[in-house]
Structure 1
C-alpha cells in the first residue's frame, strides 16, 4: 500500500467520481477523507466493493442515534473553551469559513470512528452484528435532516508549511497525539490557516485533553461505537475468505485490512474524539440529543 498515493476528488472520473459523491452524501459532509482517496488510488475495485459493504451501516436511524450519542459522550466529559464569533479576532468571512470547515470535521467524526472499527473488525474476525436489538431504529432510515448541509469543504496548509504563528501549538499537538514531524492530522492543517486562533485554542485546550476527563471521553465515545458495531443490522462480507471469493486478490485485501487496522488505533484514537471539541469551541458542533 503506497500511502503517498491518492486519488483526489477533483481528479476522479467515471464510477470513482460517483462513489466519491456517494461517500460525501452518506457521510453528510462535503469531503472525501484521506483513507478513501488512498484506498481508491491503490485498489480501486476493492475499495468500491468495500464501500458497497459498509454503506448500509451509515443509513439507519440507529446510526443517527449513535452519531449523536458519540458527540454527546465527548462534550459531556470535556470542559472546552467557547469563543463567540466577535471574540475570534477574525474578519466575518474568515469566521464563516472557520466555523463551516470545522463543522465538517464534527460531522465526519462519528462516521470515521464507526468506519475504522467496523472495517477493522470485519476484516479481522471481530464481532459485528452479533447482538442486533429488536428495535425499529436498527433498520429504520436515517433522518434526512440530521447533520445535513452544515459544513464547508475544508482547505488546509501543507504539512511542511505551517505558519510561524502556529509552530509552537503544532509542536504540542504532535507531542500530545504522538505524530512525528512529517505528519499532522487534517483538522490541524485546517485550523493552521488561522494560526492565531489555533495557538489560542491549543493553549486553552491542551490541559483538558491531557486530563482524566478526556480519557473518559475517549472511553465513553468508544463504547458508543462498540455497541453500535456489535448491534449492526447489516453485516458486511469483508472476511478474507469472502473478499477472495468475490474475485479480489488476497494481497490487496491485506493492504486494505492493514490500512484500516492502523487507523483504528494509535494516534488517531485521540484525534477523532477531539473533533467535536474543536467544533464546540466556536459554536459549530451538531446535535447532542436524539
Structure 2
C-alpha cells in the first residue's frame, strides 16, 4: 500500500472515534472545556489581564469589579490572572506526572509480561508494594527529604500513578502474547522489543488513553491538595491549591478568593472524568450501547 493511502487508512479509525465522541453531548462539552483549559495554559501571558505576582497593597481583598473581574486577594493580586496561571501549573504537573507514570508503567509492564517468570514475580511484588504506600504519607516523606518543589511533586505523582499503568499493560500483554499474530511474529524471528513496540503497544492505546483521562483529575487533586498543605507548588507561583489555602485564611473578609479558586478544581475534575467516560464509550460503542 502506498504511504499516503496507509496514512489515510490509519487516520480513519481516529476520525471515527472523534466523530462518535463529538456526537455525545457530554463528550463534546467536556472536550471543549478541556481545550479551553489547554489554550488558557498555553497562552496565559496573552490571556491574563494582569501580572499574577504583581502586588498592589491599595487593592487588597476587593470584590469582583470591572477592573478585576474576580476580585483581588490578600496582597492585591488579580484573582482571575492567578487562576489562569494556576491552570498552566495544573496542566504542567498533570501532564508531566501522568505521562511520566505512563512511560514507567508501559516499560515495566511490557518487561513483566514478556520477560521470564521470576522477573514478572519480582516486578509484580514491587508494584504491589508501591501501590500499598499511603499517598499522602509518601508525598510528605519525599518532601521532607528533598524539600517542596515542582520536581518533587512530579516525582511523587509519577511513582504513585505508575503501578496502575503497569497493571493494565501487564494484564493486556499476558492476554495478547498468545495471539496468533504474536506467535507468527515470534516464529519469524521478531525480538521482544519489536513485539512490544510494533505488535502489542498499538492494541494498548485505547485502554491507556481512557486511563490517562481518568487519572488526570486525580493528579490535579494531588497537586492542589499538597499545595494547599504548603508541600506542593511554592509561592509566588500561582496554584489552585495555594490560592485555596490563602483564601481559606481570609474566608470571612473575602470569601470570593477561596470560592473562585475551588471552582476550577471542581470543573476540571468533572470535565476530565466525563471525557474519560465518553472516550471509553467512543472506543467501544457496542459496550456503550449495552450499558444504555
Structure with more contact order per residue of length (Cα contacts < 8 Å, sep ≥ 6): 1
Q: Which has the larger radius of gyration?
A: 2
User: Greater helix share, 1 or 2?
Assistant: 2
**TM-score interval (norm. to shorter):** under 0.3
